[in-house]
Amino acid sequence: MDRREFFKFGLGGAALAAGGSLTPAEASSSQKRVPQGHPWWVKTLEKSKLAIDNAVYSRYKSQNNVFGSFARYYGQEKMKELYRNSQEKTAKYYQEKRPGYKLEDRALADASWVISRLGGLNRGTRSWNRKFIRTPEERGIDKYQGTPEAAARLIKAAARYFGAATTGIAILDRRHICSEERDKKIVFENVHEPYGDEEKLVIPDKCTYAIAVSILMPIDNIQCSPTAISSAGSAMGYSRAEFLVAGLAEFIRGLGYTAIPSVNDLGSSVAIALDAGLGELGRTNRLISPEYGPMVRLAKILTDLPLATDRPIDFGLQEFCQTCKRCAEACPSGCLSFKDEPDFEVCGEWNNPGHQAWFENAPKCLAYWRESTSGCSICIAVCPWSKKDKTMIHQLVKTTSARMPFLAGFFTAMDEAFGYGRQKRADQWWKLNLPEYGIDTTQGKG
């Protein structure tokens, strides 16, 4: 029996029997309850399922993130050794002409970063102030006056136009914003425009909204992990994020409002995206979206444009992760948690304490990136929620998983048995008939 037959007669039947309540009528009434544009089987919640300890959770110093804490964790000698080994391996792989590590593969990865390198905290594409656009004042007209609902619709349409896979909006929780970054304090003040000086970066108090966007990564690249081809896929996600936040921020300024664009800098994109209902937190301690799984990068924009907000969502992911554990099993560095339940126990300074999660030992992950010579996305590639195939059967599996996450073990085993998540050959990537930017925007969309 092949995969399709199995699903047709086995799982398909089981899923339909178990999911007997999933009638078109229910789907249509669910749809009315889901205004955020997610598939109908995604529920919205008043607040996130994961608890926050308000006595502990606070703003985080970005110097403590994995890149900052890496050397403190391993010490200088080990760092030098990791670097030396990485250099030697890189040279060896070149000589061997190993697929995924050849000159053309490395060149593609480096080239994919080029737009991403144009931005930084309050710099280039991520400038906190206007670049070129004319404001309504300069045009001699009033600023945008639409309702928050109308403004949210504009923002979501514009974000999509600039390349967002999904967009959500939340009231900004300032605790998600770093207290300092690169030795500069990040503060909120009652000012009209954001500004930075030698000591601090200032966010206007009036910026009370956060727009979260997800950017799809090219799954054909990520599935070649860990090679330079998969590294190119991550880089492409970051470069497209740069284009997206630069365009969307200028659009907001063109409406007459303030916009502070950010990718991985400034604060936790994951925390903001969770509040804005883009997904749930998975075992990887990263966002998993119902449409695209973990195959997304995240970015955000803070603004004073009044916007209708979205709510956190539930598609049974945390319950699914409790059984699945596939990312933790596949992780070559052993840095992901095997605990059954998310909890409050952090692994080190790189984790911001005070919220419930499956915390990871991030420096081990980064050490593996050095060891592999080209980064790693294995945990993304193997996740059963990462799917290119938009066939009916995968939608049925997702739908059923959302309603009956206790079937996770079964689905995960089947996913593995059919070879999903297995590493793809990097030399074959060059022969694919690729869509634009290597992404298929319908991939996995429910």
CB of 387 to ligand SF4, least distance (A): 11
Applying CB under 6 A, among 121, 151, 246, 331 the residue interacting with ligand SF4 is: 331
Please report how close the Cβ of residue 328 comes to ligand SF4 at its closest, in angstroms.
7
288 lines the binding site for ligand SF4 (CB under 6 A): yes
Segment contacting ligand SF4 (CB under 6 A): 152-160, 174-182, 236-244, 370-378?
A: 370-378
Residues counted in the chain: 446
Query: According to CB under 6 A, which one of 7, 368, 411, 420 is a site residue for ligand SF4?
Result: 368
| Minimum distance of ligand SF4 from residue 286's CB (angstroms) | 8
Task: Provide the H-helix boundaries in 21-75.
Answer: 24-33, 66-74
Residue 379 binds to ligand SF4 (criterion: CB under 6 A): yes
Q: 177 and 266 in contact (C-beta within 8 Å)? A: yes
Q: Which of 284, 399 has the CB closer to ligand SF4?
A: 284
Q: Per rule CB under 6 A, is residue 281 in the interface with ligand SF4?
A: no
Q: Does 263 bind ligand SF4 (CB under 6 A)?
A: no
CA distance 356 to 346: 9
CB of 370 to ligand SF4, least distance (A): 11
* 3-state SS assignment for residue 336: coil
Residue 402 engages ligand SF4 in binding (rule: CB under 6 A): no
Contact flag: residue 227 with ligand SF4 (CB under 6 A) = no
CA distance linking residue 309 with residue 319, whole number of Å: 26
Is 332 among the residues that bind ligand SF4 (CB under 6 A)? yes
Q: How far apart are CA 298 and CA 300, in angstroms?
A: 7
Does residue 398 interact with ligand SF4 by CB under 6 A? no
Helix, coil or strand: residue 203: strand
Q: 235 vs 335, which CB is nearer to ligand SF4?
A: 335
**Member of 300, 325, 355, 370 binding ligand SF4 (CB under 6 A):** 325
- Look at residue 307 and give its three-state secondary structure: coil
Give the three-state DSSP class for 172: coil
Minimum CB separation of residue 288 from ligand SF4 in Å reads: 6
Dihedral sign of CA atoms 70, 73, 76, 77 in order: negative
For position 401 contacting ligand SF4 by CB under 6 A, the verdict is no
Nearest-angstrom CA–CA distance, 187 and 170: 20
Under rule CB under 6 A, residue 222 binds ligand SF4 = no
Neighbours of 207 (CB within 10 A): 22
Cα separation, 117 vs 435, in Å, equals: 24
The minimum distance between CB 225 and ligand SF4, in angstroms, equals 7
Among 186, 378, 397, 404, binds ligand SF4 (CB under 6 A): 378
Burial (CB < 10 A; 0-12, 13-18, 19+), residue 226, is buried
Residue type, 214: S
Q: Which of 327, 357, 404, 439 binds ligand SF4 (CB under 6 A)?
A: 327
Please report where in the chains the tokens 């205004």 appear, as a residue. Answer: 35
* Neighbouring residues of 335: CB distance < 8 A, sequence distance ≥ 6: 360, 361, 362, 363, 364, 365, 368
- Quick one: tokens of 165? 């896979």
Judged by CB under 6 A, does residue 270 bind ligand SF4? no
Stretch of 116-124, 185-193, 337-345, 383-391 lying at the interface with ligand SF4 (CB under 6 A): 383-391
User: Interface with ligand SF4 by CB under 6 A: which range of 11-19, 237-245, 282-290, 387-395?
Assistant: 282-290
CA distances from 442 to 219, 225, 315, 389 (A): 12, 22, 19, 9
C-alpha 151/C-alpha 164 separation (Å) is 17
Helix (H, G, I), strand (E, B) or coil at 380: helix
Does position 385 bind ligand SF4 by CB under 6 A? Answer: yes
Residue 274 in the binding site for ligand SF4 (CB under 6 A): no
Query: Is residue 320 part of the contact set for ligand SF4 (CB under 6 A)?
Result: yes
For ligand SF4, which residue of 207, 216, 305, 383 counts as binding (CB under 6 A)? 383
Q: Is 407 in the site for ligand SF4 (CB under 6 A)?
A: no
Cα–Cα dist 157/169, whole Å: 13
Q: Which stretch binds ligand SF4 (CB under 6 A): 216-224, 234-242, 265-273, 329-337?
A: 329-337
Q: Kindly report the CA angle at 188 between 185 and 194, in degrees rounded to 5? A: 90
Interface with ligand SF4 (CB under 6 A): 282-284, 288, 320-321, 324-327, 331-333, 335-336, 365, 368, 376-379, 382-385
